[in-house]
C-alpha cells in the first residue's frame, strides 16, 4: 500500500480514537495517537493476517503490551474488517467486547489479553519460541510503551529473547517520552536507551515513529536480521495529530469532552 493511502488510514484511525473516547467518557488518547503509524503500517503493509480467518495458523502475531492503548488496536482491527467499524462506539460500555484493556477471548484479532504493564514481551517470547518449535515462519511484533520499560519484567524478557536468538521477534518501543506521572526522564531515566538494548544483545533500529517511510523501512530491515531479536525505538509525539493534545501529559488517560471531540475531528478532517 502506498504511503499516501497509509497516511489517510492513520487520519481515519485517529478520528476513530477520538470518537470512541469521547463516547466512552474515559480512556487513553495520548499513547493511542502517538503509535498510529506504527500499528497501521503493520496491519496494512507488513503483517500476514486474515480478518475473515483470525485464527489462521500461519499469521503473523501482534502483541499490544501497553494494553491501555487498545483504542488504537480496536480502530485498526475494525478498519481491517475484523468487526464492524460501528462497534467502536461501544468502547468501555457494559456488555461490549471492547473493554478498556484488550481481551483475546472476546475480540477477533486480539492475540493476548494485556494491560498489566511489563508482561507483553514475555508473551511475545513464548509465541516466537512456539513458532520455532512448530517450524512456522510467522513473525511476532510487540509494541511497548517507553514508560512501561521501567518494569523489571521487561528486561527479564529482553534477556530471554536474546538467549534464544529469537530473530522472528520484533519489539517496538513507542518512545513518546511521557508516562502517566510525567516525563519519563523524571520518573526513571532511560538513557542511554539504545545502548541498553544493544548491551542485552538486540539489534537496534532508531526512527521517527510518526514518519511512515521510516516505519516501513524499519520493519523491512528487521525482517532481514538473523540470529538475534530486533527492537525498533520509535521517537513519537504523545497525542500526535491533535494540536492541543500533543506533548501534553494530562492527555495520557483523559477523554476529550464534547467540544474537544469536535475540535479534534475538525483538525483531522481538514487534513484528510
The one-digit pLDDT tens for each residue of the chain (272 residues) are 899 999 999 999 999 999 999 999 999 999 999 999 999 999 999 999 999 999 999 999 999 999 999 999 999 999 999 999 999 999 999 999 999 999 999 999 999 999 999 999 999 999 999 999 999 999 999 999 999 999 999 999 999 999 999 999 999 999 999 999 999 999 999 999 999 999 999 999 999 999 999 999 999 999 999 999 999 999 999 999 999 999 999 999 999 999 999 999 999 998 87
Identify the H or E element spanning 84.
Answer: none
Whether the CB-CB separation of 86 and 142 falls below 8 Å is answered with: no
Whether the CB-CB separation of 41 and 212 falls below 8 Å is answered with: yes
- How many folded domains does the chain comprise? 1
pLDDT of residue 212: 98
Separation of alpha carbons 223 and 82, rounded Å: 25
What CATH number does the domain containing 162 carry? 3.40.50.970
Cell of 76: 485498526
Q: Regarding beta strands 230-235 and 140-145, do their DSSP bridges make them parallel or antiparallel, or are they unpaired?
A: unpaired
pLDDT of residue 272: 72
Nearest to 236, CA basis, from 245, 227, 246:
246
Structural domain containing residue 260: 3-271
SS3 142: strand
Amino acid at each position: 500500500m502506498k504511503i499516501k493511502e497509509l497516511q489517510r488510514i492513520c487520519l481515519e484511525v485517529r478520528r476513530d480514537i477520538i470518537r470512541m473516547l469521547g463516547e466512552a467518557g474515559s480512556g487513553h488518547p495520548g499513547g493511542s495517537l502517538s503509535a498510529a503509524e506504527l500499528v497501521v503500517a503493520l496491519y496494512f503493509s507488513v503483517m500476514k493476517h486474515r480478518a475473515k480467518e483470525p485464527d489462521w495458523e500461519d499469521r503473523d502475531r501482534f502483541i499490544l503490551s501497553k494494553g491501555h492503548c487498545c483504542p488504537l488496536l480496536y480502530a485498526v482491527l475494525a478498519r481491517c474488517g475484523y468487526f464492524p467499524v460501528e462497534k467502536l462506539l461501544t468502547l468501555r460500555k457494559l456488555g461490549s467486547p471492547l473493554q478498556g484493556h484488550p481481551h483475546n477471548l472476546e475480540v477477533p484479532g486480539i492475540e493476548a489479553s494485556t494491560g498489566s504493564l511489563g508482561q507483553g514481551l514475555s508473551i511475545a517470547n513464548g509465541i516466537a519460541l512456539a513458532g520455532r518449535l512448530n517450524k512456522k515462519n510467522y513473525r511476532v511484533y510487540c509494541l511497548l510503551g517507553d514508560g512501561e520499560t521501567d518494569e523489571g519484567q521487561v528486561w527479564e524478557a529482553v534477556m530471554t529473547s536474546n538467549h534464544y536468538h529469537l530473530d522472528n521477534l520484533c519489539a517496538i518501543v513507542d518512545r513518546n517520552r511521557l508516562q502517566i506521572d510525567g516525563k519519563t526522564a523524571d520518573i526513571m531515566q532511560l538513557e542511554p536507551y539504545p545502548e541498553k538494548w544493544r548491551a542485552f544483545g538486540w539489534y537496534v533500529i532508531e526512527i521517527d515513529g510518526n514518519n511512515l517511510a521510516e516505519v516501513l523501512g524499519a520493519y523491512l530491515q528487521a525482517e532481514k536480521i538473523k540470529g538475534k531479536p530486533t527492537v525498533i525505538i520509535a521517537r513519537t509525539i504523545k497525542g500526535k495529530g491533535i494540536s492541543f493534545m500533543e506533548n501534553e501529559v494530562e492527555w495520557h488517560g483523559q477523554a476529550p469532552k464534547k467540544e474537544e471531540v469536535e475540535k479534534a475531528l475538525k483538525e483531522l478532517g481538514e487534513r484528510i
